[in-house]
Structures are given as C-alpha cells and as structure tokens.
C-alpha cells in the first residue's frame, strides 16, 4: 500500500508541475491596456487531488484484478481445448459495420426530419461530411499502420498531394472533378512509392522520423513553390463537382431543373455527403478484399515478423511499397474531395496535427479494425464539435467558459485513458483474414491464447 501511495503522490506531483505554467495563473484585462494575473491555486490543488485519487483507485483496481486472475485461471491458461466460437468482440465488429452503414445512409433524412428541413440540417450534414472524410483517411492509413505495421507520421502529405492535384488540374487545364479524382489517387500513390523506397530498411522510431520529415518537406514545398502552388495564399476558386456533368445551379441546365424538382442550394451539400460516403465505402470494400488476397496476408505477416516473411520467400520490398502506395492513393482521393468541398486550399490545412489525428484514430480504434477506425473517427471528430452545444457547462464553470477551447485537452486525456485501459484499441479483436471454414478449438499447450 505504501508503494501505491507513493506512486499516486508522484502522479499528483507531476500534475502540479504541469499545472503551474498552464493553469496556476490566468490573464484578465486590467485598467487601460494592462493585463492582470489572477492566481488559481485552488483549481491547481483540486486537479492534483483528483489525479491522486484517480491513480490510487486505478492501482487498487488493477491489484484486485491481478489477485483474482492468480486465483482463477482464465481460458487462455487452460491446458485443454476450449470453445472456438466467435467472441463478442468479433460479433460486435460485424454488426457495427452494418449499423454504421445504415446510419450513414439515412443521416441527411434523419437530420432534415429532426430539424424541420434540409436548410436547418446543414450543420449536421457538414459534420457528417467531415467525419466521413476522416473515416476514409483512417481506413487508408489503416492499410499502412494497421495491416502492414509500418508507422507513418506523414500521411497528411498524400492528403495534400491529392488536394493540390485536383486544384491545379482543374484550374489550369480545366479538367472535371471525375477525371481528376482517379488522377489525384494515382499521383498520391506515386508519391507513396517514392516515400517507400528510402524507408525499406527502416522500422520503428527511424521509420517514424523519416515519414514525419516527408510530411514536413511536402508542406514546405507547398509554401515556398509560389509559382505553382500559390504559396501561403493557397489556391482559390476551385471548380465545384457536378452530378456527372449536371451543375447544381438554378438554371435550366441545373440539377433541379433536369430532374424536375424545386431548386435548393442544399442539393449540392447532400450530393457531397453521399459522394464521400461512397468513396469511404469503396475504400472499406477494397481493403477488406485485399486482406483476403495474398498481398493482404503478406501485409499482416510483415506486421507480425519481417524476418519470418523473408524466410517464407515473401518479397518484403514489394509488400511495403504496395502498402505505402495503396494507403497514399486513398489519402489522395480524400484530398481531392477536400479541395472540391472547400473550394480553397492552403498549406495550413495540411500540418502535422492532421497526421497525428488520423494516426490516433487508427490506434484508438484498433489497428487493423475497420469498424474500430470508424467509431474512433466519430468520437474524435464529432465529439469535439459536440462540445460547442454543451451549454450547461457554462452554468458550471461560468459564462466565460468555452468548451471548444478544451477539446485538445480532452483529446489527450482520452488517448491516455485508452492506452491505459485498452492499449490495443476500442476493437482489439477481429475476424482472421483466412479461415479453414470450420472453427476448431486449439489446446493451450499449442498457442498462448488458448483458443483458435
């Protein structure tokens, strides 16, 4: 118990050290143009006490769990065959995918019915587009990180390549969105292969540093190559997407007149929503199919043990390059959609924080789990946006409290909690890529998990 108390006290001390420069003093406007420092040592003490109690409770719960496990052997410690049916996590993963697709398909209709019309549901449809964009980015990065096990901290570079590819091709050569969409994916995939060649022999921290540097190099090129990219001013007046050549305008050749329906400016937004939904579902379908092909099994084998891959005759060079290229291609397609939705892009939209958020979505959702990535994207992108609507927090913390300012703090706390309680992500178990068609129990003497 003395060791647990010392550990909790150490956590409280670290919290105190972090709170002193950040929370201990607040600057308020004073007389004239001066600023006045207002001490908040009571809040610091409350936070330190909360961390002390939380760490103490956590250690006691873990101690009790370890004691219970020592007395009661789990199925993974059994020496006889155990039941081999799909567990709750695998069943939930399959049901969750259909549930996610069902909600996504009906979101505009649900939002319009709940708010009284499409115009009133604009915020929710915009939020849905943002979430689905990050879902697609997470599924693309999941190929590199979740399946192939290659850490990539510069994924936003391919996102930027796709966005600038569409912006430049459409504004310079007048190409339509539907022509530029696959071209953006091809260009981003090419850059993924270019990144893959110098990192073939790297792994772990070294791979992370190189991919991080690649992302920063792309951002700096976009800022300084002003003759092509426009520099910090970015590219504006990007042409909008059409419904296979039919624009969303109020004229006789517009979408509404063509299909004989009343004109509504929200038609374009709903079209963009279903467009990114379709692109995300294509990404998911391709990923699931690739997992069952030899290249997908090679990715997962590479993730588990690269040396064993080589001993089995697997070409690790081609395996790594295909993972980088395909993941980058999906990121480029998502980037082209981002450009057509915004109508304006600049290097500020493709900083390192975007890569960190996408990687966190993959890790928190469960590396290799498609449903887990979708759930994590909804929680991490939609959660902070929902903070803006929590008006009751102002009644608790005061009228000057803005919940949206603390979204990164809550984001960090959520990641810490996930790494402590579920280090393998929200959905850490998934169905195997290849099965024998019949589930059979495996003895604990043969595998450490005790079941198969």
Q: At what angle do helices 122-142 and 352-365 cross, to 10 degrees?
A: 80
Examine residue 84 and state whether it is found in any structural domain, yes or no. no
Examine residue 74 and state whether it is found in any structural domain, yes or no. no
User: How many Cα atoms sit within 13 Å of 179 on the Cβ side?
Assistant: 10
Same domain, 62 and 136: no
438 falls in which pLDDT band (50, 70, 90)?
Answer: low
Average pLDDT over residues 426-436: 61
Examine residue 446 and state whether it is found in any structural domain, yes or no. no
Q: Is the pLDDT assigned to residue 136 strictly greater than 90?
A: yes
Examine residue 452 and state whether it is found in any structural domain, yes or no. no
Q: What pLDDT sits at residue 431? A: 58
43-63 burial code (b ≥16 CB/10 A, e <16): ebeebbeebbeebbebbeeee
Examine residue 353 and state whether it is found in any structural domain, yes or no. yes
Q: Which two tokens stand for residue 384?
A: 């902070």
Q: What pLDDT sits at residue 327? A: 92
User: How many Cα atoms sit within 13 Å of 6 on the Cβ side?
Assistant: 3
283: CB partners within 8 A, 6+ apart:
136, 139, 140, 330, 333
Same domain, 150 and 60: no
Q: For 343, phi and psi rounded to 5 degrees?
A: 75, 0
Find where tokens 């909804």 sit. 378
Q: What pLDDT sits at residue 132? A: 92
Q: What pLDDT sits at residue 376? A: 87
Of the two residues 72 and 406, the one the predictor is more confident about is 406
Q: What is the pLDDT of residues 276-334, one digit of tens each?
A: 999 999 999 999 888 888 888 888 888 888 888 888 888 888 888 899 899 999 999 99
Same domain, 57 and 170: no
Strand 25-29, strand 35-39: pairing: antiparallel
Examine residue 356 and state whether it is found in any structural domain, yes or no. yes
Average pLDDT of every residue of the chain: 81
Same domain, 44 and 171: no
Q: What is the pLDDT of residues 11-24, one digit of tens each?
A: 999 988 888 888 88
Examine residue 160 and state whether it is found in any structural domain, yes or no. yes
Q: What pLDDT sits at residue 65? A: 79
Whole-angstrom distance, CA of residue 8 vs CA of residue 17: 14
Find where tokens 């059994």 sit. 78
Distance between the two ends of the chain, CA-based, in angstroms? 39
Q: What pLDDT sits at residue 81? A: 45
Same domain, 161 and 19: no
Q: For 235, phi and psi rounded to 5 degrees?
A: -125, 125
Q: What pLDDT sits at residue 80? A: 45
42 falls in which pLDDT band (50, 70, 90)?
Answer: confident
Specify the range with the lowest mean pLDDT, choosing from 44-48, 114-118, 233-237, 426-430: 426-430
Q: What pLDDT sits at residue 163? A: 93
Neighbours of 353 (CB within 10 A): 10
Residues 425 and 418 sit within 8 Å (Cβ to Cβ): yes
Same domain, 203 and 286: yes
Examine residue 101 and state whether it is found in any structural domain, yes or no. no
Same domain, 54 and 121: no
Same domain, 127 and 17: no
Query: Smallest Cα–Cα separation from 299: which of 148, 152, 173?
Result: 148
Global confidence as pTM:
0.77
Q: What is the pLDDT of residues 243-254, one digit of tens each?
A: 888 888 887 888
Q: Is the pLDDT assigned to residue 390 strictly greater than 70?
A: no
Q: Is the pLDDT assigned to residue 79 strictly greater than 50?
A: no
The torsion region of residue 313 among left (phi > 0), alpha (psi -120 to 50) and beta comes to left
Q: What is the pLDDT of residues 137-193, one digit of tens each?
A: 999 999 988 888 888 888 999 999 999 999 999 988 888 888 999 999 999 999 888
Same domain, 269 and 404: yes
Find where tokens 């879902």 sit. 135
**What range defines the domain where residue 7 resides?**
1-69
Same domain, 58 and 128: no
Same domain, 413 and 307: yes
CATH of the domain at 168: 1.10.3470
Same domain, 129 and 65: no
Whole-angstrom distance, CA of residue 279 vs CA of residue 288: 14
Number of domains into which the chain is organized: 2
Whole-angstrom distance, CA of residue 219 vs CA of residue 409: 26
Task: Tell me the residue length of the chain.
Answer: 452
Give the CA angle between residues 250, 107, 370 to the nearest 5°.
125
Q: Which two tokens stand for residue 7?
A: 């550990």
């Amino acid at each position: 118990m003395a060791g647990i108390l010392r550990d909790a006290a150490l956590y409280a001390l670290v919290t105190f050290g972090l709170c002193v420069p950040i929370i201990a003093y607040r600057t308020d406007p004073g007389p004239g143009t001066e600023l006045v420092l207002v001490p908040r040592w009571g809040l610091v003490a409350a936070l330190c006490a909360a961390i002390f109690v939380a760490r103490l409770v956590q250690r006691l719960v873990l101690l009790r769990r370890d004691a219970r496990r020592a007395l009661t052997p789990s199925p993974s410690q059994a020496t006889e065959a155990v039941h081999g049916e799909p567990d709750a996590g695998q069943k939930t993963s399959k049901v969750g995918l259909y549930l996610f697709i069902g909600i996504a398909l009906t979101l505009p209709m649900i939002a319009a019915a709940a708010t009284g019309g499409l115009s009133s549901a604009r915020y929710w449809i915009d939020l849905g587009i943002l979430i689905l964009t990050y879902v697609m980015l997470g599924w693309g990065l999941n190929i590199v990180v979740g399946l192939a096990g290659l850490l990539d901290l510069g994924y936003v570079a391919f996102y930027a390549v796709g966005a600038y590819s569409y912006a430049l091709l459409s504004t310079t050569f007048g190409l339509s969105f539907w022509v530029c969409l696959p071209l953006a994916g091809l260009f981003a995939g090419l850059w993924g292969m270019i990144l893959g060649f110098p990192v073939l022999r790297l792994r772990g921290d070294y791979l992370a540093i190189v991919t991080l540097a690649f992302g920063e190099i792309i951002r700096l090129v976009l800022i300084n190559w002003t003759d092509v990219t426009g520099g910090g001013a970015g590219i504006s007046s990007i042409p909008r997407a059409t419904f296979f050549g039919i624009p969303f305008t109020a004229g006789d050749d517009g979408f509404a007149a063509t299909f004989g329906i009343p004109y509504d400016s929200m038609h374009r937004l709903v079209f963009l929503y279903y467009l990114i939904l379709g692109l995300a579902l294509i990404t998911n379908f391709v990923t699931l199919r690739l997992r069952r092909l030899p290249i997908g099994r090679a990715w997962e084998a590479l993730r588990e043990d690269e040396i064993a891959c080589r001993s089995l005759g697997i070409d690790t060079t081609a395996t790594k390059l295909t993972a980088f290229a395909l993941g980058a291609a999906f990121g480029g397609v998502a980037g082209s959609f981002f450009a057509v939705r915004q109508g304006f892009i600049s290097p500020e939209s493709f900083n390192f924080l975007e890569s960190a958020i996408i990687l966190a979505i993959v890790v928190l959702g469960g590396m290799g789990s498609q449903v887990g990535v979708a759930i994590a994207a909804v929680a991490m992108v939609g959660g902070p946006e929902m903070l803006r609507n929590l008006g009751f927090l102002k009644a608790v913390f005061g009228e000057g409290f803005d919940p949206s300012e603390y979204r990164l703090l809550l984001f960090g706390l959520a990641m810490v909690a996930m790494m402590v309680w579920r280090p393998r992500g929200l959905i850490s178990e998934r169905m195997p890529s290849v099965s024998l068609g019949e589930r059979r129990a495996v003895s604990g003497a043969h595998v450490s998990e005790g079941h198969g």
